[in-house]
Amino acid sequence: MSARKGLLIAAYALLLAAAISALALFGVQTVRLHALWQQSEDTAKQFEQEISALAAENDALAREREKAQALAEDQAQRIEQLQDQCARLQAELDSAARYTLDVRQLPAGQIVAGEEIDQAHLQDYFTSSPILEGDEVYVRIYGKSFVDNDDIALADLRYMKVLHYNFDHQVQVGELIVHRELAPDYQEIFQALFENEYEIQSMYLIDNYWTGDGASSDSASIEVNNTSAFCYRKVVGGSGLSNHALGRAIDINPQQNPYVTYKDGKPRWTHDNADDYIDRDTGLPHVITHDDLCYRLFKAHGFDWGGDWRTMKDYQHFDKEK
């Protein structure tokens, strides 16, 4: 073998070896690529799964958040309601603390400051209570305006405390005794008079002016222009029982609203303090006419007015019979 041939063989062998190793390398790379592709596909699948799990979780969280928001709104509303309730209670407490005035405990004639009066509960200042044998009122009236009799029982009378404006336009405590059936009428009437600032000079029991009998005590009460209701007595100038004796009549501001009789068409009256009030058209204050609030209120409650009587006039007098 020549040297040239030997070289050629060696060259071929080298070429062959190179080709074989290149092929082997290619095979290895292909396998590796395939493995990598497989791996990335797996990873992509895993990512997809993770994404959908996260999305589901996200949806659940969104629902939870919505629920929590609705709950928070409900709670806020409830808190607002409770705060309102709290404020109302506080206001009631404040007003209870501010308005401690108990008209039942105040003596008639007591002047009351306007700011002491709880305008939201005015009806509390127009009270009616039974009179019990031996109690303070009973002791004041027994043997005077009230005596043992067959016409009116103590249990049928009520002692009332009210507020009214006096002639100086101050708020004053008044007292009166009326038939229990009429107490609700009187409560409404006197509250309406008060709300309209209607002036009444004073309201004391007739017993404060007691001079020994019903007629003269009535006269003494008129003399000081006192407003009063119950008195177990006869009618003025007659023998029958007065409606005052049954707690079914009241005389209001008697000076400005006198009892007038007529002889030969001429008016006669018994109290000089009424001289200016025989003429009913003077427009003077406290004169009761058909336009007067007092007249309108008593009329609306079914009372009759003495100013409407025919043969005589008792302008101070309102009554409501059974």
Closest CB 99 distance from Zn ion, rounded Å = 35
Classified as helix, coil or strand, 25 is: helix
Residue 144 found at the interface with Zn ion (CB under 5 A): no
- When the beta carbons of 207 and 251 are compared against Zn ion, the nearer one is 251
| Other C-beta atoms lying within 10 Å of the C-beta of residue 125 | 25
- Contact segment (CB under 5 A) with Zn ion among 73-81, 225-233, 281-289, 310-318 equals 310-318
Return the residue of 140, 233, 317, 320 that touches Zn ion, per CB under 5 A.
317
Residue 251 or 292: the one with the smaller Cβ distance to Zn ion is: 251
Cβ 316 to Zn ion shortest distance, Å: 6
Query: How many angstroms separate the CA atoms of 290 and 282, rounded?
Result: 14
Per CB under 5 A, 313 contacts Zn ion = no
Residue placing its CB nearer to Zn ion in the complex, 160 or 249: 249
Q: How far is the CB of 252 from Zn ion (least distance, A)?
A: 9
Tokens 């009913």 -> residue: 280
Instruction: Give the residues across from 165 on adjacent strands.
Output: 171, 199
> Which residues, numbered 210-249, are part of the site for Zn ion (CB under 5 A)?
249
Q: How far is the CB of 266 from Zn ion (least distance, A)?
A: 22
238: left (phi over 0), alpha (psi -120 to 50) or beta: beta
Give me the residues paired with residue 175 across strands: 161
**Stretch touching Zn ion by CB under 5 A, among 108-116, 127-135, 156-164, 250-258:** 250-258
Q: Which amino acid is at 177?
A: I
Q: Which lies closer to Zn ion via its Cβ, residue 125 or residue 318? A: 318
Closer residue to Zn ion in complex, CB, 208/227: 227
Cβ at position 259, least distance to Zn ion in Å: 8
Phi, psi values for residue 95, rounded to 5°? -70, -35
Dist. CA 159–CA 131, nearest whole Å: 6
Question: Measured from the CB of residue 300, what is the shortest distance to Zn ion in angstroms?
Answer: 19
The string of DSSP codes covering 201-236 is SB---GGGG--SSHHHHHHHHHHTTB-B-----BPT
For residue 125, the minimal CB distance to Zn ion (Å) is 25
H runs (alpha helix) in 142-274: 183-195, 214-223
Between residues 117 and 205, which has the closer beta carbon with respect to Zn ion?
205
Considering the rule CB under 5 A, would residue 251 count as an interface residue with Zn ion? yes
The answer to whether 247 and 229 have CB atoms below 8 angstroms apart is yes
Using CA atoms, how far apart are residues 195 and 114, in angstroms rounded to an integer?
A: 12
Residues that bind Zn ion (CB under 5 A): 249, 251, 317
